[in-house]
Structure 1
Amino acid sequence: MSSRRIAVWAAVISVAATLTPASAWQYWGGDAGGTRFSPLVQITPANVDRLVRAWEYHTGDSERRPPAAAARTKFEATPLLVDDSLVFCTPFNEVVALDPGTGAQKWRFDPKVGYGLRPANRYACRGVAHWVDERAPADAACRSRLFMGTVDARLMALDARTGQPCAGFGADGEVRIDVAKDLLWPGEFQITSAPVVGRDVVVVGSSIGDNQRVDAPAGTVRGFDARTGQLRWSFDPLIHDGITAGHGNVWAPMSVDEERGLVFLPTSSPSPDFFGGARPGDNRHADSVVALRIATGALVWSFQTTHHDVWDYDLPAQPTLARLETGQGARDVVMQPTKQGFVFVLDRDTGLPVWPVEERAVPQGAVEGEGLSLTQPFPTHVPPLLEQRVASEDIFRVVPRIIDSSCDDQLAPLRNDGLYTPPTTGGTLLYPMTGGGVNWGGAAFDPVHQVLYVNVSRAIHIIRLIPRDQADRMTAPRGVDFGLQRGAPFAVTRAVAMSRLGLLCNRPPWGEMVAVDLKAGRILWRSTVGTTEDRAPLGLAFKWGTPLVNGVAVTAGGLVFTGAMDAYLRAFDAGSGEELWQGRLPVPGVANPMTYQWHGEQYVVIAAGGHSEAGTTLGDSVVAFRLARQGEGPSVWSRTVDRPGGRFAGSALMISLALAVLVLVWRRWRLRRV
């Protein structure tokens, strides 16, 4: 064995010793710092083609729920392996425990959330948190417990072994969150991401409906006693002196540094997203990475990534905590990816940038009453994960403009001065769109090789401010998000730029995985993730990528796993970015994968339930893969990427485009005859 390989294996062993047990995935982000790294090495680039489907579990949501409610789901959960069970939450906040080896159900708890809530961010539950009460006897009920926030604003505590509510926590195992404001409708305020626990305090954020009103509910983060459910502290990220606004909430996953006693919050934009006239100034501590004392909620430091946000460029991703070799020694850092495609690297103790961040002038000329920031922060060492401007040559023209000029017609009139172009009444081209760049899936970090892996999306939003007198009597066209922004002089419409063919107006790839050497400050590789197979006619698989709100998992075995908006779990070579393997799913797995070891075998698991906001097929599956056992043959659910269908992509594309041209010509001919 070479000295280099010996050094790498020594590093793996060293890192593994500081993480959770090698067989486990005990936190939503893999560990408390959200690195999404597993030291498991059984599955490698050399044998990943032997992965087979081990089991599939159905939650029953597709059949048991009213169709109107089931149609508003996003199955985004990441399971945990705790107390010899694989546990996760469904979009309706049912908590399920499975046998890790067979997928057989062990227990199930239903908090009975209502079907008439119309939750602003759909029915969604990204995960649960696990905590062990070290003061309790080993056999005591609820010594090992699970915490979950619900779509109807409850914090619940369950016995991790049985699923029974913990009687000593709140009222019969639950605490109802006091929103302290009348809601416009029951689903305006909900909880979607997993709580976090540290030093016997469970911390929970909230998800609040966007663009509904200036005076929206406060984005208060709350810390509760993990044993009793008593409120220990509350923290409103938004400083309200001289402003009228709500939000600044934490809807994305949080991270904990138990040793330092810190919890790290990725905060959102203030309300409403696209007009800030009632909230002058930078609006601190919104759009910020915020470090609090987890025992008291006291502010330790805050770093703002967007000043006076009018683009919905809030922080969507879990702050990633790791020890990073900077070139001037190793430092404990916080790595924060953003919707704009930036990666901010901050000192964990002070919040100061590890490498310089520059305040640069940004476009001005907003609508009357707005007060834009003159500058915005730009990292200088780590390059953006994607380009941040769309030009005419970036428009995706699959057919001649004489046949379909819909993208040019939509985009040409828009104001397009690059990143941070302000919203206008004439229309603004927003790129990256409000969904990123990076979204809630966040990043994964390999502490051995010091590489960050992250999924990014490429799509354009068309933002248009609507004067109040017009907004009060208009109805938004189909496919357009209409935010009333009550209390502001403007409402807002938001739409993804798409052609008449149903394709994104910007050229592919629309989804990529990016590997970054943070120390060197360079992109190592990019790899397109996803095809059109599950959306295009006849299952044509054009490798254009799909938007990627979900994240990845990286292993010491040299693989990076991810889902996408098509129905595959994928494995990529962590060193080169080469796509090595695809595992077929019943519907798209728009969730973060995880991996664990059980009885000597490594499993990779993903929730596959689709995504109602993205228009995918919906389902209710959790699917696990493992290496084929002796005597097991190839699986129809598993394949390498060099498959026969891929060889016909060119001719298939020509056939598809020819059909599209015929359809468009026929439609125009009919319109002229009418």
Structure 2
Amino acid sequence: MALRRDAIAIVVIVAHGLLVQAAVASARAWPQWGGDAGGTRFSPLAQITPANVDKLVRAWDYHTGDSTVRPPAAALRTKFEATPLLIDDSLVFCSPFNEVIALDPGTGVEKWRFDPKLANDLRPANRYACRGVAHWVDAQAPADAVCRSRLFMGTVDARLIALDARTGRPCAGFGVGGEVRIDLGTDLLWPSEFQITSAPAVGRNMVVVGSSIADNQRVAAPPGTVRGFDARTGALRWSFDPLIHDGITAGHANVWAPMSVDDERGLVFLPTSSPSPDFFGGARPGDNRHSDSVVALRIETGALVWSFQTTHHDVWDYDLPAQPTLARLETGQGARDVVMQPTKQGFVFVLDRDTGAPIWPVEERAVPQGAVDGERLSPTQPFPTHLPPLLAQRFT
């Protein structure tokens, strides 16, 4: 993909003049935002190698046209961050204005396009943005049924939309006319203080949606509630507020980064963010759990299974910014199913998938104190000891 200032474009390259083959078997597809539900981002394709990568040339490009059909003020509030899916012989992605587009992967020819009709004057807190869509197949539906293969997308204006993956038409049996308007249960400072930017997580016939919320607007900000919807009907099945509000005034701890799913275990893994406001916690004493945490929920009920906090009482905006990666690792004491979570500090926490316990030691180390009046910092912070940090921890 390439982002150009004059137009958003997707660019496809070829090796030695031969188009890199689109998926024929599911193993060669890219059906989820992170490659698979566990975010491993692994592809078995082997046509592009270190020996031929310098021979790649452009095969085609595609322009969404957003910059020419939207008012300049709206176009300036965009960021193109979509990861395309390769499903059902289509390359599917979303534009910053939540238009879902399906292309022929071999030619770049547009197959269909869905426009949810976003308003141009929303002023979204984190710009007009859509990181991707999610794919789900209804195993109970006939093979040729409409919306048996469907796409889910959260929108800038707080809708969850279901589309037929073959045609791009809304799934009539989902919500009202193919969409659910999310009830936030609280007043907003302006309509787009709350938005959805990352692709939903899908598993066990459930669709799980996080949110992106404006930072540093107020202490009693909207909560970062995560919601689970029935994938067939759009009915809300559960909601989970990551932040424990006992004795504190705060909101957020939302999940703006992509989530991961272990369908076999029936777990969804949430990378939560900091509580409000980002840089002062005087009204929220204590560790503020389950903010800045990897949280495992039962995907069918939203019940809490375990939580591991990577930053206590965050006053640095140390949101967990990445999808948790699910993998099976050889630890030296046998293979373990793990959750790997990188952080803004450059740490990587490796946790047992069933319990959340660190696979290798994590030390609570004393950290510098001293803060503005009314603030009380955590005396310690967790440091993984086995894996070295991904970047320097001191600057001169």
Distance apart, 1:62 and its partner CA: 1.3
Residue equivalent to 1:304: 309
Partner Cα separation in structure 1 for residue 36 and residue 67 of structure 2: 31
In the alignment, which of 150, 153, 176 is matched to residue 148 of structure 1? 153
| Equivalent pair of 1:218/1:247 in contact (CA under 8 Å) | yes
Residue equivalent to 1:22: 27
Partner Cα separation in structure 1 for residue 150 and residue 139 of structure 2: 11
Distance apart, 1:48 and its partner CA: 1.2
Distance apart, 1:125 and its partner CA: 0.2
In the alignment, which of 60, 66, 69 is matched to residue 64 of structure 1? 69
What are the equivalent positions in structure 2 for 1:314-325 lying under 5 Å apart? Answer: 314-325=319-330
In the alignment, which of 227, 231, 234 is matched to residue 236 of structure 2? 231
Distance apart, 1:186 and its partner CA: 1.3
Residue equivalent to 1:651: none
Partner Cα separation in structure 1 for residue 374 and residue 219 of structure 2: 14
Residue equivalent to 2:273: 268
Q: Which amino acid aligns with 2:117?
A: K
Does the alignment pair 1:193 with 2:194? no
What are the equivalent positions in structure 2 for 1:415-454 lying under 5 Å apart? Answer: none
Does the alignment pair 1:105 with 2:114? no
What are the equivalent positions in structure 2 for 1:56-205 lying under 5 Å apart? Answer: 56-205=61-210
Partner Cα separation in structure 2 for residue 115 and residue 304 of structure 1: 38
Partner Cα separation in structure 2 for residue 112 and residue 192 of structure 1: 16
Q: Which amino acid aligns with 2:306?
A: W
Partner Cα separation in structure 1 for residue 70 and residue 333 of structure 2: 56
Give the total of aligned pairs.
372
Residue-by-residue CA offset, 1:317-367 (whole Å, 9 max, x unaligned): 000000111111111100000000000000001100000000001111101
Partner Cα separation in structure 1 for residue 61 and residue 115 of structure 2: 21
Partner Cα separation in structure 2 for residue 365 and residue 138 of structure 1: 63
Partner Cα separation in structure 1 for residue 146 and residue 322 of structure 2: 34
Does the alignment pair 1:243 with 2:248? yes
Residue equivalent to 2:13: none
Q: Which amino acid aligns with 1:285?
A: H
| Equivalent pair of 1:168/1:228 in contact (CA under 8 Å) | yes
The runs of 4+ residues in structure 1 deviating greater than 4 Å are: none
Is the partner of 1:271 in helix, strand or coil?
A: coil
What are the equivalent positions in structure 2 for 1:23-62 lying under 5 Å apart? Answer: 23-62=28-67
Larger radius of gyration: 1
Residue equivalent to 1:354: 359
| Equivalent pair of 1:22/1:40 in contact (CA under 8 Å) | no
Q: Which amino acid aligns with 1:184?
A: L
Partner Cα separation in structure 1 for residue 74 and residue 393 of structure 2: 37
| Equivalent pair of 1:359/1:377 in contact (CA under 8 Å) | yes
Distance apart, 1:166 and its partner CA: 0.4
Is the partner of 2:381 in helix, strand or coil?
A: strand
Q: What TM-score, normalized to structure 2?
A: 0.93
Is the partner of 2:54 in helix, strand or coil?
A: helix
Q: Which amino acid aligns with 2:262?
A: D
Partner Cα separation in structure 1 for residue 332 and residue 26 of structure 2: 30
Partner Cα separation in structure 1 for residue 332 and residue 75 of structure 2: 51
Residue equivalent to 1:433: none
Partner Cα separation in structure 1 for residue 56 and residue 328 of structure 2: 32
Is the partner of 1:63 in helix, strand or coil?
A: helix
Partner Cα separation in structure 2 for residue 307 and residue 192 of structure 1: 26
Q: Which amino acid aligns with 2:163?
A: L
Residue-by-residue CA offset, 1:557-582 (whole Å, 9 max, x unaligned): xxxxxxxxxxxxxxxxxxxxxxxxxx
Partner Cα separation in structure 2 for residue 361 and residue 384 of structure 1: 18
Residue equivalent to 2:258: 253
Counting aligned pairs with the same residue, the percent is 86
Partner Cα separation in structure 2 for residue 80 and residue 141 of structure 1: 20
Residue-by-residue CA offset, 1:174-197 (whole Å, 9 max, x unaligned): 001111111111110000000011
Residue equivalent to 2:8: none
Distance apart, 1:311 and its partner CA: 0.2
What are the equivalent positions in structure 2 for 1:500-511 lying under 5 Å apart? Answer: none
Residue equivalent to 1:331: 336
Q: Which amino acid aligns with 1:85?
A: S
Q: Which amino acid aligns with 2:166?
A: R
Partner Cα separation in structure 2 for residue 111 and residue 319 of structure 1: 29
Q: Which amino acid aligns with 1:213?
A: R
Give unmatched runs, 5+ long, in structure 1. Answer: 1-19, 392-674
What are the equivalent positions in structure 2 for 1:436-515 lying under 5 Å apart? Answer: none
Partner Cα separation in structure 2 for residue 173 and residue 83 of structure 1: 20
Partner Cα separation in structure 1 for residue 28 and residue 107 of structure 2: 16
Partner Cα separation in structure 2 for residue 22 and residue 345 of structure 1: 26
Partner Cα separation in structure 2 for residue 175 and residue 280 of structure 1: 36
Alignment RMSD (CA, Å): 0.7
Distance apart, 1:148 and its partner CA: 0.1
Partner Cα separation in structure 1 for residue 86 and residue 138 of structure 2: 17
Partner Cα separation in structure 1 for residue 394 and residue 181 of structure 2: 44
What are the equivalent positions in structure 2 for 1:629-644 lying under 5 Å apart? Answer: none
Residue equivalent to 1:372: 377
Partner Cα separation in structure 2 for residue 371 and residue 235 of structure 1: 27
Q: What TM-score, normalized to structure 1?
A: 0.55
Q: Which amino acid aligns with 1:226?
A: A
Residue equivalent to 1:341: 346
Distance apart, 1:36 and its partner CA: 0.6
Partner Cα separation in structure 2 for residue 23 and residue 236 of structure 1: 37
Residue equivalent to 1:647: none
Residue equivalent to 2:215: 210
Q: Which amino acid aligns with 1:146?
A: L
Is the partner of 1:100 in helix, strand or coil?
A: coil
Distance apart, 1:23 and its partner CA: 2.1
Choose between structure 1 and 2 for higher RCO, CA contacts under 8 A separated by at least 6 residues: 1
Partner Cα separation in structure 1 for residue 184 and residue 75 of structure 2: 26
Give unmatched runs, 5+ long, in structure 2. Answer: 1-24
Is the partner of 2:363 in helix, strand or coil?
A: strand
Residue equivalent to 1:221: 226
Partner Cα separation in structure 1 for residue 286 and residue 118 of structure 2: 39
Is the partner of 1:378 in helix, strand or coil?
A: strand
Partner Cα separation in structure 2 for residue 277 and residue 240 of structure 1: 14
Residue-by-residue CA offset, 1:48-72 (whole Å, 9 max, x unaligned): 1221111100000111111001011
| Equivalent pair of 1:198/1:294 in contact (CA under 8 Å) | yes
Residue-by-residue CA offset, 1:623-654 (whole Å, 9 max, x unaligned): xxxxxxxxxxxxxxxxxxxxxxxxxxxxxxxx
Does the alignment pair 1:390 with 2:371? no
